[in-house]
Amino acid sequence: MRRRIAEAKRLVVKVGSALVTNGGQGLAPDAIAGWARQIARLRAEGREIALVSSGAIAAGMQRLGLATRPQTMHELQAAAAVGQMGLAQTYESCFSEHGLVTAQVLLTHEDLADRKRYLNARSTLVTLLELGVVPVINENDTVVTDEIKFGDNDTLGALVANLIEADALIILTDQDGLFSADPRSNPGARLISAGRADDASFEAMAGGAGSSIAKGGMITKVRAAQRAARSGAHTLIASGREADALLRLAHGEEVGTLLYATATPLAARKQWLADHLQLAGSLHLDAGAVRALQEGRSLLPIGVVAVDGDFERGAAVACRSPGGKEVARGLVNYSANEARRIARHPTSEIEAILGYFDEDVLVHRDNMVLL
Ligand code: GLU
């Protein structure tokens, strides 16, 4: 089972506040240097890593001279805004020691629920990974407070795994993994080494659906694993306190808890596309484009003869054969008006027609399901 992790090419690594700060008081540059070193090693092995890191509030508290965590949400948000500068600065300098460039990405859950923003975030992150950059992602705490309230970025980690179709999500924390019962009150509690992410009994072990959600507690991690599994990503929950914890996990060592997905990322994504899409319009294809799609290729504007409907970039559209039959559906990269203008034209003319160039295909094959 752990071989799946050793073979995972695209990883989301989430480190909680406890692992990048000195007991919640200011950043721990040595710890951050350790994450950068391990991630640099994994990159050198040809693996792509998106890092989700908390720690902004803790860093901000120190910069503002606050000894205790503020009570009000607006003070916490202000501390996060201050601390994010230090967090980004520290990661940037630690990664540069290894010749790696970083990018700061601040996201909200709503960003990813909106299809247009989802596509934009996805293409930015995938491009960064292809460029060899390490994206350092945090919640945009200025505009939302979900992770401040509940998660310490566990959910965000899962959303990023969904977004970039990661093979695995590694949640590093200060606990050894998921236990069969709370180890603090049950001496007989045993560490779960592996199980299906969708096994409902894990929620109860992690504290149960009805329990109050401790911020960053095990329940948010189990739910993050369920969410990640829906897009085919396996989740590891393990202690980040051990030496080389990330390297050992990424190399398939049996530490922590593996909650595995049962579908592959691509199959899971296509299932999601098939199940969830409300069609906003239709693209009418010529016979050549229908053939190209059926051979597994993306839809180019030149293969589209007409466009029905009024839709935005990111909307779900039907791709129809000359006879009107729906042959595929997918997320479209251009709005209806733009699609009408570039239809029947080669990709090389998109920029001249629209005055800008977004993507070279109208519907990418990864965002499309054939019917
Ligand atoms: N996004 C927050 C941070 O980076 C979450 C962690 C927290 O609530 O302490 O600081």
2-265, which class in CATH?
A: alpha beta
Domain ranges of the chain: 2-265, 277-370
* Paired sense of beta strands 194-196 and 134-139, if any: unpaired
Question: Probe ligand 1: pick from 147, 213, 215, max atoms within 8 Å of CB?
Answer: 147
DSSP labels, 282-317: EEEEPHHHHHHHHTTPPBPGGGEEEEEE---TT-EE
Q: Whose CA is nearest to atom 5 of ligand 1?
A: 152
Distance 155 CA to ligand 1 centre (A): 12
Distance 44 CA to ligand 1 centre (A): 29
| Count of C-beta atoms within a 10 Å radius of residue 26 | 17
pLDDT at 214: 42
Distance from C-alpha of 170 to C-alpha of 258, rounded to nearest angstrom: 9
Distance 152 CA to ligand 1 centre (A): 5
Report the SS3 class of residue 315. coil
Distance 283 CA to ligand 1 centre (A): 43
Note the pTM of the prediction, 2 decimals. Answer: 0.83
- pLDDT beneath 50: ranges in the chain: 209-214
Question: Probe ligand 1: pick from 27, 53, 148, 154, max atoms within 8 Å of CB?
Answer: 148
Question: CA 335 → CA 119, 365, 366, distances in Å?
Answer: 13, 18, 18
Distance 116 CA to ligand 1 centre (A): 26
Q: Say which CATH superfamily domain 277-370 falls into.
A: PUA domain (2.30.130.10)
Q: Whose CA is nearest to atom 2 of ligand 1?
A: 54
Q: Which atom of ligand 1 is nearest to the CA of 215?
A: 8
Distance 207 CA to ligand 1 centre (A): 21
Q: Which atom of ligand 1 is nearest to the CA of 24?
A: 9
pLDDT at 211: 41
* Paired sense of beta strands 48-53 and 134-139, if any: parallel
Question: CA 346 → CA 197, 208, 301, 318, 361, distances in Å?
Answer: 44, 55, 7, 21, 10
> Which of 257, 238, 225 lies closest to 161, judged by CA?
225
pLDDT at 276: 58
Distance 335 CA to ligand 1 centre (A): 36
Contact 138, 170 (CB under 8 A): no
Question: Any residues with Cβ below 6 Å from ligand 1, and which?
Answer: 17, 54-57, 80, 138-139, 141, 147-148, 152-153
Q: Whose CA is nearest to atom 6 of ligand 1?
A: 152
